[in-house]
């Protein structure tokens, strides 16, 4: 049982908030839910959408087709009319002059006089969203109680009047559809049993909570889509969580605040997207050479340059792997789900402190800003490992410094924090001796390079193997990393229904890649790798570090993530071609062209 | 009580003989002793340049960051543990050139930290190019036909941006400089001490003699450091007098709440919070 719904409206009309609230309604009803926003890079006008997919089975990703389309503007009709399932409903505001618009066939077209409903009920024009949720719930006979409770939760901070008006708006929508919808819509939903522990959360918020569970005390950032909501969420909660959150003048300052705070002994991090990460690059090297831990959350969007700021891509992997001059060790982690954003987000701080190096957590617009139902996270499952800290070093002789960079077998040297007696040293961007004084001695240089590099051995033991989803011995393996796990997981039942058996091998830990992973990859029979970029960056890393080549590469880089049917298609094509080595390019049709004058001419 | 010896390192500073940095190094140590600081609760933070070597030459905690990036890690350190004495040092290229953005913005925040700028009007460590504070017309390696730009005036900028302790010292007057730095560390808020520091190798214009002939002390003229308008007038006197009269001393001092004091989370330093299990139940309920 599945229901897919999309609302399309001008930016600024409030459809994002409304969409998310409806997603919560279904999650409260025990359904698995995906909430998926798309929007262009502007604040008013343009066209925003929010899609909800709800199912009684586990789902992970948005899909292209909808059962119900709610269009609050003309673009909404034009952009979504081709994406309605047979027997679906197109609801639109009857104020829209649709006379010149071609309507889709095989679906119920249902104009609603929103303006009239608003006037009759003395509502605020902004409540059109709420009315359409009432209409949509009416269509599927879904009880309204949870929606009312959520309206109360959402608006009670403003005033009781606003709550009451919204409830009235929802009821008016519900009643309208019951009295006026003459079409035939077969999907009916009922709330199921639920223990009340299902949350609906975005990747950014999940990472932010993970960072807090992981003990972050100072978080500094500069706004950048699609990473900004990490900053927003932590800033809103800084007093509740008893942490300090700072918006800085730029990304250089943000990462350097974090490195400074980490040097002073607290867990610290920052968040950004590719452009901001570019500014942080030099400081990554500072973290590495001074062996000061730092966690950088990098939510990717298409590049280079400003490019497509509100869309998605996995194009920054090689950049993150090599960013900054010189050679140094780092850890790259790419969570595949909101659960992993939380648990691996927390874990990132352990890696940073245990190995005293920069850790980059890679998300992307798709995972960062979409919403997913999940079980409440359990902070008690997060273990804190701070690595080697000398809290009571032996007394120093006059003029002597603490040996902060002591050459050790493991490569890890105990840290001291300012305030600790006898721990005085300099954390420095220059090459240095064991006692931290700058040194240009050749032998010392080699010893220090080797010491820092030695950490990789222990670190690799700590890196978990990639996860296999589905049957271990499936004849086909879909290999992916980061967020593309989600469409890949949803491709499995599509393939299964066609008698194609496959599993998913997912990498959340991208670097370093320990050799022991090789056995797992070699055991895979026919392999297809999906990546949300044009140059198969991770496939290149698998070849470089593990001497492994997948049979087929399927690449998508049009600004959106893979959809489940695209993954399934690619697998089927690869299979039909007997998994001969090949690169496939997956491109959406251009129906989402927001600035396409041809489409606009039909409207205006 | 810590003594000068406690702040002294074994290594000899690698500055040119006669460099003004020696005096700044000594002034910092004098000031630390005077205010009763201990090596383990003091952090000297620097960028990169001749001034960037300072953390190595004061025996305390130190953080030698990247070129131009002295203030951001100093801010992070202060937020993480505001009980520390945090002294940020920089050069005129480091602080007023590549790091100018940080300089402007930190003054809006009034963190309780001290910023000492080695202002020698030239790039020293990269062997003598024009700096943001290089006077118009001066020939340097990068301006062989004479510098076409007007210099940055750090003190009026600091007064405009809300710095709460604004001073200028001279590396040729150690006692006076030590007192200015001690005053800056004691001051609760952001203290800027711009130090006229002769670069004996690359700046043949702004020499010890040059400054000695032109500098006078504000306190000798009865300057009222609580008067912002007067402070601004004095801060502009160097360039408006065509560098004939150059005031040094404390230009301005104001008591204003520090950034740290306005954060309820910082009742105790973040470092002392430790890492305790965080209750996220209420936060997660908002996602239901």
Under 8 Å CB-to-CB from A77, ≥6 apart: which residues?
A: A69, A71, A90, A92, A96, A98, A101, A103
Give me the residues of chain A with pLDDT under 50, please.
Answer: 597, 600-601, 603-604
The per-residue pLDDT for A46 is 73
3-state secondary structure A412-434: CCCECCCCCCCCCCEEECCCECC
Q: How many CB pairs (< 8 A) connect A and B?
A: 206
The per-residue pLDDT for A600 is 47
The answer to whether the CB atoms of A266 and B80 lie below 8 A apart is yes
Report whether A551 contacts A574 (CB < 8 A).
yes
User: What is the Cα Rg of chain A in Å?
Assistant: 26
How many Å apart are CA B174 and CA B166, to the nearest integer?
18
Query: How many structural domains is chain B composed of?
Result: 1
Sheet harboring A552-556: ordered strands across? Answer: A467-469, A502-507, A476-481, A526-531, A552-556, A582-586
The answer to whether the CB atoms of A429 and B5 lie below 8 A apart is no
Q: Model pTM?
A: 0.97
Alpha helices in A74-159 (DSSP H): 74-80, 114-120, 128-139, 145-155
Chain B residues with CB under 8 Å of A290 CB are 63-64
By Cβ distance, the residue of A27, A380, A418 closest to B77 is A418
By Cβ distance, the residue of A209, A244, A398 closest to B79 is A244
In Å, how far are A315, A417, A497, A502, A549 from A528, measured between CA atoms? 19, 48, 19, 10, 10
Instruction: Sketch the domain layout of chain A as residue ranges.
Output: 2-180, 200-381, 467-590
Phi, psi dihedral angles at A401 (to 5 degrees):
-115, 160
The answer to whether the CB atoms of B79 and A253 lie below 8 A apart is no
**Beta pairing class for A84-93 and A66-71:** parallel
Does the domain at A200-381 match CATH 3.40.50.970? Answer given as yes
CATH code at position B17: 3.40.50.970
The per-residue pLDDT for B277 is 86
Closest to A397 (Cα-Cα) out of B57, B59, B84, B13: B59
ipTM of predicted assembly, 2 dp = 0.98
**What's the farthest any 2 CA atoms get from each other in chain B?**
73
Residue of A nearest to B282 (CA): A240
In A346-499 the beta strands, taken as DSSP E runs, fall at: 358-364, 371-375, 426-428, 467-469, 476-481
Write down the residue that tokens 């590495």 correspond to.
A288
The answer to whether the CB atoms of A380 and B277 lie below 8 A apart is yes
Residue length, chain A? 604
By Cβ distance, the residue of A239, A268, A283 closest to B265 is A239
Q: What is the dihedral of CA A497, A498, A501, A506, to 10 degrees?
A: -70
Residue of B nearest to A27 (CA): B288
The per-residue pLDDT for A601 is 47
Helix (H/G/I), strand (E/B), else coil: A57 = coil
* B30 confidence band (pLDDT: 50, 70, 90): very high
How many Å apart are CA A589 and CA A83, to the nearest integer?
12
For B3, counting Cβ atoms within 10 Å of its Cβ (0-12 exposed, 13-18 middle, 19+ buried), the class is: exposed
Chain B residues with CB under 8 Å of A241 CB are 278, 283
Residues 65-94 of B with CB under 8 A from A: 65-66, 69, 71-77, 79-81, 83-84
Chain B residues with CB under 8 Å of A205 CB are 287
How many Å apart are CA B76 and CA B66, to the nearest integer?
15
The per-residue pLDDT for A593 is 52
Residue with the bigger pLDDT between B190 and A592: it is B190
Does the domain at A2-180 match CATH 3.40.920.10? Answer given as yes
- Show the domain range for B10: 4-285
Chain B residues with CB under 8 Å of A196 CB are 288
Under 8 Å CB-to-CB from B276, ≥6 apart: which residues?
A: none
3-state secondary structure chain B: CCCHHHHCCCCCCCCCCCCCHHHHHHHHHHHHHHHCCCHHHEEEEECCCCHHHHHHHCCCEEEECCCCCCHHHHHHHHHHCCCCEEEEEEEHHHHHHHCHHHHHHHHCCCCCCEEEEEECCEECCCCCEECCCCCCCCCCCCCCCCCCCCCCCHHHHHHHHCCCEEEEEECCCHHHHHHHHHHHHHCCCCEEEEEECCCCCCCCCCCHHHHHHHEEEHHHHCCCCCCHHHHHHHHCHHHHCCCCCEEEEEEEECCCCCCHHHCHHHHCCHHHHCCCCCCCHHHHHCCC
Residue of B nearest to A24 (CA): B288
Helix (H/G/I), strand (E/B), else coil: A566 = helix
In Å, how far are A364, A523, A548, B245 from B154, measured between CA atoms? 41, 65, 58, 16
Residues 157-216 of B with CB under 8 A from A: none
Residue of B nearest to A197 (CA): B288
Write down the residue that tokens 């298609």 correspond to.
A569
For A103, counting Cβ atoms within 10 Å of its Cβ (0-12 exposed, 13-18 middle, 19+ buried), the class is: exposed
The per-residue pLDDT for A590 is 54
In Å, how far are A248, B93, B167, B243 from B214, measured between CA atoms? 39, 23, 17, 7
The answer to whether the CB atoms of B81 and A265 lie below 8 A apart is yes
- Assigned token pair, A499: 């008698």
By Cβ distance, the residue of B6, B43, B102 closest to A253 is B102
Q: Mean pLDDT across the stretch B159-165?
A: 98
Cis link prior to A36 (omega < 30° from 0)? no
Residue of B nearest to A291 (CA): B63
The answer to whether the CB atoms of B277 and A241 lie below 8 A apart is no
By Cβ distance, the residue of B40, B65, B264 closest to A421 is B40
Q: Mean pLDDT across the stretch B80-90?
A: 98
- Give the bridge partners for A4, in sequence order: A53
Of 3.40.50.920, 3.40.47.40, 3.40.50.150, 3.30.360.10, the CATH number of A467-590 is: 3.40.50.920
């Amino acid at each position: 049982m599945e229901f897919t719904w999309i609302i399309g409206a001008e930016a600024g009309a409030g459809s994002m908030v409304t969409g998310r609230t409806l997603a919560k309604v279904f999650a409260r009803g025990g359904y698995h839910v995906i909430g998926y926003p798309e929007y262009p890079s502007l604040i008013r006008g343009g066209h925003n959408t929010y899609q909800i997919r709800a199912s009684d089975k586990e789902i992970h990703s948005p899909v292209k087709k909808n059962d119900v389309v709610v269009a609050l503007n003309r673009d909404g009709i034009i952009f979504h009319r081709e994406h309605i399932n047979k027997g679906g409903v197109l609801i639109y505001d009857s104020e829209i002059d649709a006379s010149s618009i071609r309507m889709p066939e095989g679906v119920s077209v249902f104009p609603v006089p929103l303006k009239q409903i608003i006037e009759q009920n003395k509502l605020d024009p902004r409540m059109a969203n709420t009315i359409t949720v009432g209409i949509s719930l009416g269509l599927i006979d879904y009880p309204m109680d949870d929606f009312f409770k959520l309206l109360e939760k959402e608006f009670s901070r403003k005033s009781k009047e606003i709550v009451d008006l919204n409830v009235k708006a929802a009821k008016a929508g519900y009643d309208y559809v019951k009295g006026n919808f003459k079409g035939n819509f077969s999907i009916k939903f009922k709330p199921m049993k639920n223990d009340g522990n299902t949350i609906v959360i975005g990747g950014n918020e999940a990472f932010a909570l993970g960072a807090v569970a992981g003990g972050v005390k100072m978080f500094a950032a500069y706004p950048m889509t699609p990473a900004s909501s990490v900053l927003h969420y932590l800033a809103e909660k800084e007093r509740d969580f008893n942490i300090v959150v700072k918006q800085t003048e730029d990304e250089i300052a943000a990462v350097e605040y974090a490195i400074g705070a980490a040097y002073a002994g607290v867990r610290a991090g920052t968040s950004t997207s590719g452009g901001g990460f570019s500014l942080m690059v030099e400081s990554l090297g500072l973290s590495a050479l001074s062996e000061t831990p730092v966690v950088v959350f990098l939510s990717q969007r298409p590049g280079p340059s400003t490019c497509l700021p509100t869309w998605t891509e996995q194009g920054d992997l090689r950049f993150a792997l090599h960013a900054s001059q010189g050679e140094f060790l780092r850890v790259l982690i790419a969570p595949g789900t909101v659960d992993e954003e939380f648990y691996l987000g927390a874990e990132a701080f352990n890696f940073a402190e245990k190995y005293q190096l920069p850790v980059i957590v890679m998300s992307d617009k798709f995972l960062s800003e979409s919403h997913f139902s999940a079980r409440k996270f359990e902070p008690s499952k997060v273990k804190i490992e701070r690595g080697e800290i000398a809290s009571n070093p032996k007394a120093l002789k006059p003029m002597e410094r603490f040996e902060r960079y002591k050459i050790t077998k493991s490569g890890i040297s105990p840290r001291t924090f300012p305030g600790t007696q006898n721990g005085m040293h300099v954390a420095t961007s220059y090459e240095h001796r064991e006692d931290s004084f700058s040194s240009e001695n050749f032998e010392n240089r080699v010893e220090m390079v080797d010491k820092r590099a030695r950490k990789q051995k222990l670190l690799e033991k700590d890196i978990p193997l990639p996860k296999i989803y589905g049957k271990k011995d499936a004849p086909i393996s879909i290999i992916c990393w980061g967020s593309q796990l989600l469409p890949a997981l949803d491709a499995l039942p599509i393939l299964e229904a066609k008698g194609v058996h496959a599993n998913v091998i997912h990498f959340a830990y991208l670097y370093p890649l320990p050799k022991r992973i090789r056995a797992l990859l070699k055991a895979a029979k026919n392999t297809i790798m999906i990546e949300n970029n044009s140059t198969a960056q991770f496939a290149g890393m698998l070849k470089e570090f593990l001497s492994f080549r997948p049979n087929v590469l399927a690449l998508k880089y049009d600004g959106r993530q893979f959809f489940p049917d695209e993954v399934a298609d690619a697998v089927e094509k690869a299979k039909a071609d007997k998994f001969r080595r090949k690169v496939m390019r997956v491109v959406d049709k251009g129906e989402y062209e927001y600035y396409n004058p041809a489409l606009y001419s039909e409207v205006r | 009580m810590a003594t000068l010896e406690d702040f002294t390192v074994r290594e000899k500073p690698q500055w040119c003989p006669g460099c003004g940095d020696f005096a700044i190094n000594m002034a910092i140590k004098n000031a630390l002793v005077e205010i009763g600081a201990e090596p383990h609760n003091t952090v000297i933070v620097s960028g990169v340049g001749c001034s960037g070597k300072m953390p190595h030459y004061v025996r305390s905690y130190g953080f030698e960051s990247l070129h131009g990036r002295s203030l951001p890690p100093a801010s992070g350190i202060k937020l993480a543990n505001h009980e520390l004495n945090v002294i940020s040092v920089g050069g005129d290229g480091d602080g007023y050139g590549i790091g100018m953005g940080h300089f402007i913005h930190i003054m809006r925040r009034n963190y309780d930290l001290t910023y000492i700028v080695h202002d020698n009007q030239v790039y020293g460590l990269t062997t003598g190019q024009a700096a943001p504070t290089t006077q118009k017309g001066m020939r340097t390696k990068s301006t062989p036909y004479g510098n076409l730009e007007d210099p940055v005036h750090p003190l009026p900028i600091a007064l405009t941006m809300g710095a709460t302790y604004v001073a200028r010292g001279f590396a040729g007057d150690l006692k006076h400089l030590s007192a200015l730095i001690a005053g800056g560390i004691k001051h609760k808020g952001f203290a800027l001490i711009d130090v006229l520091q002769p670069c004996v190798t690359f700046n043949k214009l702004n020499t010890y003699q040059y400054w000695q002939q032109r500098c006078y002390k504000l306190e000798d003229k009865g300057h009222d450091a609580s008067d912002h308008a007067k402070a601004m007038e004095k801060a502009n006197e160097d360039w408006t007098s065509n560098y004939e009269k150059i005031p040094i001393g404390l230009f301005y001092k104001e008591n204003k709440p520090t950034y740290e004091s306005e954060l309820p989370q910082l009742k105790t330093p973040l470092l002392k919070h430790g890492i305790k299990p965080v209750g996220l139940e209420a936060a997660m309920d908002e996602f239901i």
